[in-house]
Amino acid sequence: MPKGGWQEFSSTESLQRPTGPTAAPTPKAQQMVRVQPTRGGRGGKTVTVIRGLELDATGFKALLKKLKGRIGSGGTAKDGVVELQGDQVDVVLELLSQEGYRPKRAGG
């Protein structure tokens, strides 16, 4: 008997992605957006962290550009988390509220 004779996914039907209704994105006002200042693991520098945004890559990029432009400092978006340089919690809360989100301050 040759090696690799058994194939679970041998038919073309089993390789197709399931089709059906996809989950609708959560409305902005219902997303659990948390904004908090943190220093952990950043050499003592304060960073504002935004979690809970349900956006795609282009949405994160556009929001990050607005935030950085408004704040006037650097930042990044990675793994669904936005990080902005400095303690910018109040400005971020105001801007996210204007965008239609209901953000909350988290942590200290």
Residue predicted with more confidence, 18 or 95: 95
* Other residues' Cβ atoms within 10 Å of the Cβ of residue 65: 12
> pLDDT digits over 7-58, tens only?
565 555 655 665 656 566 777 777 888 999 998 877 889 999 999 888 888 8
pLDDT of residue 12: 59
Query: Full-prediction pTM beyond 0.75?
Result: no
* Strand ranges, E, within 1-108: 34-38, 47-51, 75-78, 81-85, 104-105
Q: Is the pLDDT of residue 67 over 80?
A: yes
* Other residues' Cβ atoms within 10 Å of the Cβ of residue 24: 6
Longest CA–CA span in the chain (Å) reads 68
Domains identified in the chain and CATH numbers: 27-105 (3.30.780.10)
Read off the DSSP letter of residue 99: T
